[in-house]
Structures are given as structure tokens and as C-alpha cells.
């Protein structure tokens, strides 16, 4: 099969490229599986397991549904002097009231929550 690439449009070339890449990936995977099967057959004929020969362990199963564990919020470390419901853990961005107090010369330790 002869394809005249110079006569093709850019869109046609991109479609051809995508098709070639897809088929190349399939062919590589098919050849890889065939090679593994042939190697397994040969090692079985000699009384071994392929994993014993290559020193590999069976791959661990991957749980694709595993979710990240939920993070626990850190307890508040600082409390707003005028509104006790407003707190800050001391992590992340400083709240405006902390910045303003420090700019005015107050220590952040004044806002510490006593345990």
C-alpha cells in the first residue's frame, strides 16, 4: 500500500498519524503479551515459574477506587479578641486581624487560646 503523503492535507495527515500511533500501541502490547506467554511456557517446560527466573514478584493489585484519607482539621490556636467565634489554627494564610494586630505592634501570642 503506497500513500502519497505530499498530496494529503494537514487534517488527513493528523488523522493518519493518530491511526498509526493507535495501531502501533496495540501491536506493541500484543507482541509483549505473546513474548510473556512464550517465556512462561518455556519456563514451565523446565519446571520453573517465570517470576522465579526473573526474580520478580507478582505485581500488587491496584485498588483504583481507593480514596485519599480525609484530613483532620487542626485545632484552633488563636482566637479573635472581639469575636470569639473567629479562630485561626496558625497554619496557612494569616487572617487579616492577625496581620493588622502585628502591624500595630501587638504580639500574636496575645491571641493564643489557653488550653
Q: What's the pLDDT score for residue 87? A: 92
Task: Note down pLDDT in tens along the chain; length 115 residues.
Answer: 788 999 999 999 999 999 999 999 999 999 999 999 999 999 999 998 888 888 766 666 666 677 777 777 889 999 998 888 999 999 889 999 999 999 999 998 989 988 6
Answer yes or no: are the C-beta atoms of 111 and 80 closer than 8 Å.
yes
Q: Report residue 106 as a C-alpha cell.
A: 501587638
Answer yes or no: are the C-beta atoms of 98 and 78 closer than 8 Å.
yes
Q: CA-CA distance, 27 to 34, in Å (whole number)?
A: 10
36: left (phi over 0), alpha (psi -120 to 50) or beta: alpha
Q: What's the pLDDT score for residue 65? A: 72
CA distances from 90 to 12, 93, 95, 100, 107 (A): 58, 8, 9, 15, 13
Q: What's the pLDDT score for residue 71? A: 78
Q: What's the pLDDT score for residue 59? A: 60
Overall pTM surpassing 0.75 (yes/no): no
Q: What's the pLDDT score for residue 81? A: 86
* Cell 491496584 belongs to residue: 62
Q: What's the pLDDT score for residue 11? A: 95
Q: What's the pLDDT score for residue 84? A: 87
Answer yes or no: are the C-beta atoms of 8 and 17 closer than 8 Å.
no
Amino acid at each position: 500500500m503506497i500513500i502519497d503523503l505530499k498530496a494529503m492535507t494537514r487534517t488527513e495527515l493528523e488523522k493518519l498519524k493518530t491511526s498509526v500511533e493507535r495501531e502501533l500501541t496495540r501491536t506493541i502490547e500484543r507482541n509483549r503479551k505473546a513474548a510473556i506467554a512464550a517465556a512462561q511456557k518455556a519456563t514451565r517446560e523446565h519446571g520453573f515459574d517465570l517470576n522465579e527466573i526473573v526474580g520478580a514478584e507478582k505485581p500488587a493489585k491496584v485498588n483504583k477506587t481507593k480514596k485519599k484519607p480525609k484530613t483532620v482539621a487542626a485545632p484552633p490556636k488563636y482566637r479573635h479578641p472581639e469575636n470569639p467565634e473567629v479562630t485561626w489554627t496558625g497554619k496557612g494564610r494569616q487572617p487579616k486581624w492577625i496581620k493588622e494586630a502585628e502591624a500595630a505592634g501587638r504580639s500574636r501570642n496575645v491571641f493564643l487560646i489557653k488550653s
